[in-house]
Structures are given as structure tokens and as C-alpha cells.
Chains A and B, each alone.
Chain A
């Protein structure tokens, strides 16, 4: 990763009138080479943020830079490929001609069209009119258009929206593949599983505000073990004295030990040899979903 983030916002805010604040004082940094997940429920401000990064929407206040340039400027757009919300193309043109139009805008040589069609596996239907495409094909054409410029930064807004399970899996595999190639990807999604599978780092946005940011592991919180043993108080005292256990607390009739999950067998042996009855011992597995619900006050996605 470089010293300079590819995408950086400081205090980015978008208000509509006096009452609606779509994005509120957002500080965000996306570093070169990472796949960054922008996670939030519908209406959280994800798309508004991405549109501001692409120069489609003027921020009310705050600053943003994309590839070190002003969002929406030719210098910034030249290195960015984007798919914002549903893919939008000219219905009377074929997939190929749609890409021809875009390649002309972008100043991309014509042979590149064939390459991106291959990448998204759409070559066989490239001559069909866009209006005849299935949703999955439209989405893939959207990704192909985003790839035309061979961009440093890909901005994908809910790329699996409306796709069937097979289409979703294919799209996720494609995004993962693109991320592996050293490209920086900023992916917005309201699907926790998707972000968990694809992204290196995640920013959680809620009601226009970034409420958490970190790797998936960081967001999940500290590692640990859950122990159900009797008598509980005696088990707590023994656990506190064990080497490698950094913290012990009681929750829902169980002990929650802050320690490496790999020490489970050793801890089990100590407790049993002390004459305690251990009926359950398992790693803490807080899912991203639980973290998300905690962060957003229980609002579902």
C-alpha cells in the first residue's frame, strides 16, 4: 500500500434541504490494492457517497479526492471504472455497441472491448441488443464497461443486486479476481456475507455516518473461548489464573475468556483436573452480522 490513499474524504457531507442529511461528516480512506467494503443498510448513504466520489453529486461540505484529483475531473475519471446502482445503457444498441460508445468517451482503443467482454464472459451475446439482456448479463456488461479503461480504481455499487444465487456467486468470484490483480476495489453492499467473503477492509455506514472501520477480523472483535462449566464461580477464579488468558467475564451463564482459541484443549484439561464439570467449550464466533446489528442499533440490512 502507498502512503497516499486512492480515495480520501474529509468531513464529506451531503444535505438535501434543511431536514435530510444523506451523508454526514464522512472520513474515509481506501488504500491502493485493497478491496474495501462499504457496508450499510439501504438508505444509509452509500450510493450518495459513491456518486460524490464520481462527481455526479456536489457535496454540501467537506472534501474528497480520488486518485489525488478532484472527483469528476477528467484526471480522476480517467483512472476510475464505475458501476453505480443498476447498469444503465442504451437499449437500442447491442452490448458491443454500448461499449463502443463508452470506449469513445473514454478514449480507449477498440480491441479492448473484446478483452473486457471475454473477462465478463459476454462475448457470445455481445451483438444482441441491450434491452434483450437478462439482469445478470446487464450487470456483467456494467462491469465490462467499468473495466474498459483498465482502471486503477473500481467503484462497484451493489454489483450483485437483483442477481440469482448463481449470478451472485459468479459476480463475487469476478470481483475477488479483479481485487487479486492488484486493482483497488471500492465495493458497496448491504449484504454482510458478500462483504465478508470479498473485502479486505470494511467501513460500516449508518444514517450517513461511518460507525466502524477495519478488517473483518477487527470488526468481529477479540478472539476468545466460551466455556460452560460448574460451579461457574470456581471456574471463573481458576480461569483468571491461567496463563494466556487475558480476561474473563460471565455472560448468559457462560464464561467468556479472552484468549487464543487454540488453547481450548489446555484450558479444558486444567478445569477438569480441578474437579469442575465442563459441558461446553467453543471459540467465540461473533459474526459480522452480529457486529453490524450492534453498530446500527439492531437495524436489519
Chain B
């Protein structure tokens, strides 16, 4: 397994697409996490607006600005949805990690070496896991840089979250990326290629989940279904770091963070087992 891991890690490390996705992820953190919000909060309220409206906007801006400060790094990255967007990016990475082998026909090259199918599969998965941890660390680092710059611009104190909270942030980030990355990985194994896997994965992540969440149905059964969905649990697990500002108009999470973590873990294991089953059993033609 170690030999397969080293081989797979070399492939991913040298793959330009992996670095492009990391660059996209870093840009997402900086743009959506900090730059856009800071541009909004630093814009002065219109002079001719009624006093009540100006006061409301200033209060909202202040609340937003506080989330951009270093002490609220995790709240900003997780609760405000930056890591949820990152999930879509790592879904692509997961699909590329397994699906490209089918497109290039390299699976036969891999599987005619020594490790055997499960050895090759485990190596592939471990290498993806290692890269996902790197993605989480880069996300946290980019967020730290963004918050540091905002604090400097605002002449505010630089207080970081306690180390324990940062470790929890790393864990939750890895969990979110693991579930979305393994979804992409499993879809690509299932469809023996990347295009359909990425297309369906992104359609689910960006359209289906949101459309279902927006349905005007108020029943317990519907909420039970929603509470099992990936996106809902991704939002809910972020509840470890606070709740979304009501000013954003975001709904309260349906699931308690601990349960959401369990659901995401179960999904990750399920996706991996599904991929392993097809990877091991199918003919390579």
C-alpha cells in the first residue's frame, strides 16, 4: 500500500490540474471569504439615505467586519460557506484522481504492476486524502492571511482562535473535503471517466441540493429527508464554529453539528466502499 501511495502521490503532485484547483480554492477563499465582504463593509453608506437605513447598514457592516477579524477566522470560513464552495472544488479533484485513469487508459498500466487492485485503490485514496489535507491547510492559511490584512487595514488587534479550535477547524475541513472528494472519486469510478462524474456531481452540489432546500414544503418528513443531504450536513457541521448571521437571511441548520459529522463520515465511508466494490470487480477493457 505504501508503494501505491508513493506512486499516486507523485502523480497528483506533478499534475497541473491539482495545482490549478488549489489556486482556484485559494482565490475563492480570498475573494468570497474576504475581498468581496470587505469591499462591502468599507463602502460608506449613501449620504442621502434615511438616517434609520444608514444606521442599519452601519450595524450590519460592523457585524460583517467582525467576522473578517482573525479571532473569527473559523466562523468566517465555515459558517459563511467558503468551505462549502471548496467542497465543489475538491469534488472535481476527487473525480480527476480516479476518473482520468479511464480516459487515458492508464488503469491497465497501474493494475499490471505488483500491488493488485485493492493495493492500488488504497494508494489512490490515501494520496487523494493527503492532497485534501493540504487543501484544507491552504484554505486555512489563505483565510488567515485575509483576516490579517483586514485587521491591519482596520488597525484592529490580531487575536487568533485557540489552537484547539484551529485543530477542530482542520478536522471539520478535512471531513467536509473528504465527503465531497470521495463523492467525486466514487462517481468517476462508477462512470469510468471524469466528464459525467464532474457534471453530475456539480449539478447535485450546486443545483439539486439548493432546489430541494428552496421547496416551500413544511413537513417533518421533508425535513428528515433534508437532514440526510450532503449540503445540509456540510452547513450543519459548521455549526461547531457559530451560527450564521441572521442579517444574511440564512436558515438555521437542521442538524446538530455532532450528528452532521457522523452523517458526513458515514457518507464518506459509503462512497469509498462503493468505489472499492466497482474498482475491484469490474473488467478493465
Query: Considering the chains assembled together, what is the distance between the CA atoms of A90 and B11 in angstroms?
Result: 8
Closest Cβ–Cβ distance, residue B173 to chain A (whole Å): 28
Which residue in chain B gives the minimum CB-CB distance to A52?
B283
- Give chain A interface residues in 133-183, CB to chain B under 8 Å: 145, 149
Residues on B with C-beta less than 8 A from A91 are 104
The interface residues of chain B lying within 8 Å CB-to-CB of A86 are 105
Given known pairs A57-B284, A74-B114, the reply for A101 and B11 (CB within 8 Å) is yes
Closest Cβ of chain A to B130, distance in Å, is 15
CA distance A92 to B16 in the complex (A): 8
Cross-chain contact B104 with A56 (CB below 8 angstroms): no
Q: Identify which of residues 156-178 in chain B touch chain A, using a CB-to-CB cut-off of 8 Å.
A: none
A51 on the B face (CB < 8 A)? yes
CA distance A89 to B14 in the complex (A): 14
Select one of A100, A107, A145 contacting B114, CB under 8 A: A107
Q: Is the CB of B109 within 8 A of A88?
A: yes
Interface of B is mostly: helix
Would you call B3 and A105 a contact (CB within 8 A)?
yes
Q: Does A82 contact B (CB under 8 A)?
A: yes
State in angstroms the CA–CA spacing of A54 and B114 once bound together.
11
Segment with Cβ contacts to A, from B50-58, B75-83, B115-123, B211-219: B115-123
Question: What residue of chain B has the Cβ atom nearest to residue A105's Cβ?
Answer: B113
Among B10, B108, B113, the residue within 8 A (CB) of A88 is: B108
Given the known A-B contacts A90-B11, A92-B14, are A105 and B114 also in contact in the complex, defined by CB atoms under 8 Å? Answer: yes
Q: Is A93 an interface position by the 8 A CB rule?
A: yes
Within 8 A of A (CB), among B70-114: 104-106, 108-114
**Number of chain A residues whose Cβ lies closer than 8 Å to a Cβ of chain B:** 33
Q: CB distance A89 to B283 under 8 Å? A: no
* 0 or 1 for each of A84-111: is its CB under 8 Å from B? (1 = yes): 1111111111000100111011110000
Contact A57 B283 (CB under 8 A): yes
The answer to whether A77 touches B117 (Cβ under 8 A) is no
The answer to whether B110 touches A100, judged by C-beta atoms less than 8 angstroms apart, is: no
Asked if B285 is an interface residue, CB under 8 A from chain A, the answer is: yes
Task: Assess the A104–B116 pair: CB atoms within 8 A.
Answer: no
What 0/1 readout, one digit per residue, does chain B (111-151) give for beta carbons within 8 Å of chain A? 11111110110010000000000000000000000000000
**Quick check: B283 and A93 within 8 Å, CB to CB?**
no
A72 surroundings in chain B (CB, below 8 A): 111, 116-117
- Partner of A77 from the list B14, B16, B104, B114 (CB cut-off 8 Å) is B114
A11 vs chain B, min Cβ distance (A)? 19
Number of interface residues of B (CB under 8 A): 29
**Interface status of B7 (Cβ within 8 A of chain A):** yes
Q: Which residues of A contact B111 (CB under 8 A)?
A: 54-56, 72
Query: By the criterion CB–CB under 8 Å, are B283 and A58 in contact?
Result: yes
Q: A273–B6 Cα gap in the complex (Å)?
A: 81
The answer to whether the Cβ of A42 comes within 8 Å of any Cβ in the partner chain is no
* A241 is an interface residue with CB less than 8 A from chain B: no
A176 smallest CB distance to B (angstroms): 23
Minimum CB–CB distance for A186 against chain B, Å? 13
User: Of A51, A54, A105, which is within 8 A of B115 by CB?
Assistant: A105
Does residue A80 face the partner (Cβ distance < 8 Å to B)? yes
* CB <8 Å contact, B114 and A106: yes
A78 at the interface (CB under 8 A from B): yes
Mask: chain A, 5-46; 1 = CB below 8 Å from B; 0 = not: 000000000000000000000000000000000000000000
Minimum C-beta distance from B194 to chain A (A): 14
| Chain A, Cβ-Cβ closest to B113 | A105
A77 touches B284 (CB 8 A): no
A73: interface (CB < 8 Å): yes
Please encode chain B, from 1 to 43, with 1 for each CB lying within 8 Å of some chain A CB and 0 for all others.
Answer: 0011011001100111000000000000000000000000000
A97 to B12, CA, bound (A): 12
B104 and A90 contact, CB distance less than 8 A? yes
Q: Shortest beta-carbon distance, B85 to chain A, in Å?
A: 26
Contacts of B112 in A (CB 8 A): 54-56, 77, 80, 82, 84
Q: Which of chain A's residues have a CB closer than 8 A to the CB of B6?
A: 104
Known: A54-B112, A56-B284, A58-B281. 7 other contacts (CB 8 A): A56-B285, A90-B104, A92-B15, A93-B14, A97-B10, A105-B3, A106-B3
Provide 16 A-B residue pairs closer than 8 Å at the C-beta atoms, listed in order of the A residue: A51-B283, A51-B284, A54-B112, A56-B108, A56-B285, A58-B283, A73-B116, A74-B119, A77-B112, A88-B105, A102-B7, A104-B6, A104-B7, A105-B114, A106-B3, A106-B113
Leading 6 A-B pairs by shortest Cβ distance: A104-B7, A88-B105, A105-B113, A56-B284, A57-B283, A82-B112
